[in-house]
Amino acid sequence: MPKVCFYFLLHQPYRLTNFAVTDLSDPRHEYFCQDCYDQNREVFQKVAQKSYRPMLSLLLDLVEKHPEFKFSFSCSGVFLEQAQAWGPEVIDLLVRLSKHRSQVEIVGENYYHSLSALYSQKEFRAQVKQHTSLMRELFDVKPVTFRNTEMIYNNYVGWQVARLGFRGILVEGVDRLMQGRPKTQIYRANCDLALPMLLKHAQLSDDIAFRFSQKSWSQWPLTSEKYLSWLHDYRDEETINLFMDFETFGEHQWESTGIFPFFARLVETGCQDAHIQFTTPREQLSPKRFTTKKDWSAWVKTLPIYNVDDPISWADEDRDLSAWRANDFQYDTLQKIYELEAKVKAKKDPRLLADWRRLQTSDHFYYMCTKYFADGDVHAYFSAYDSPYEAYRRYCIVLADLQERCQ
């Protein structure tokens, strides 16, 4: 029976307030909210009502009713900070899910959802360790599988993740790199350390995440029975990796589309289907049959290599870094924010350090993207601002204030 591996990402950035040039002398340095209005709280509570609470409640109900159902998820640290402040019921649901250890896996993340893996090995390591500490504090777990920001990956990222002790990583299966090989088998990183990987099945993932409510799609309406029939086409030894944003459920695909009953029926029918088996990344990448690390490492060496020289991601049609690093706005701000690392850390100011790290969150640079056509429409939909130029303007003013604080 083919195995089905669900993974969901929970992330919300801190959006920049309209910090003015005249605020540069303000000692409060309120980059992310204003006294009279906090857009971040408003957005989080809206999405919690539409997506987080109903979907987490549904997942908890499915896990408790169906011991065969398994899935994985990760939460960025900035998401959990907001949940602790404005959505304690979301934290409670996550904690209750985390107690189902044999069915639910919590995947490791980069705390600030940043691009640090590409810019600073030291900072990347610090953010991953900060995230691991938070997972222990909130859920009493130490993640063994990792998923980098936006699934950004190359061989160097894989080496860094392996050095941090993770037993596997989730990445995008990019067609131009697959050389005709299936995305449904386990691969290993092209580095001198053992790191197995699961590759996202983009088509089947996006059928739910993007095409589910698209009436112009030839397969609309998508039913659970139709979707399961597609899964039946795969062989017993294959794993179908369905990776998507958590906000697929209720926010990107509204409740009125029927996304919640679709998913519930998909799981319930799948659990009764002798040809389907739900699994987690941990089960696939760190099998229990290997009792020693030496045996596990020997098994990893037998896996085919997924070689990624140039960075890839799960974003946009090209699955590269152009969502965050394609124009002068993005290159300029990314270079300047990471150039401040030594000065920020030399100050030993926790507030300054936290602000600097929040300004690394990938969404800030995503909002500066100037693409057109389909990718541009997606960027505009997710942007917190009217235009990429407004995103750049706000970021530059805040960046200037941060630079001044480092003097």
**How far, in Å, CA of 152 to CA of 321, rounded?**
8
Following CA atoms 112, 406, 393, 358 in sequence, which dihedral angle do they give, to the nearest 10 degrees? 10
Tokens read off for 327: 């124009």
150 catalytic per annotation: yes
Active-site pick, 81, 105, 109, 150? 150
Tokens read off for 11: 């992330």
Residue owning tokens 């777990």: 141
User: Which alpha helices (DSSP H) does 5-52 contain, by range?
Assistant: 39-47
**How far, in Å, CA of 231 to CA of 137, rounded?**
37
Tokens read off for 343: 């000065």
**How far, in Å, CA of 116 to CA of 357, rounded?**
10
Q: What number of CA atoms fall less than 13 Å from residue 222's CA on the CB side?
A: 29
Tokens read off for 292: 């020693």
φ, ψ dihedrals at 155, nearest 5°: -60, -35
φ, ψ dihedrals at 164, nearest 5°: -80, 0
- Contact (CB, 8 A) for 286 and 167: yes
**Burial 290-325, CB ≥16 within 10 A → b, else e:** eeeeeebeebbeebeebebeebbbbbbeebbbbbbb
Residue owning tokens 């030399």: 346
Written as one letter, the residue type at 87 is G
**Residue 13: partners with Cβ closer than 8 Å, 6 or more residues away:** 78, 113, 361, 362, 363, 364, 384
**How far, in Å, CA of 368 to CA of 370, rounded?**
6
Q: How many CB atoms lie within 10 A of CB 65?
A: 12
Nearest 5°: the CA angle 59, 62, 67 is 125
- Contact (CB, 8 A) for 24 and 400: yes
Q: Which residues are catalytic?
A: 150
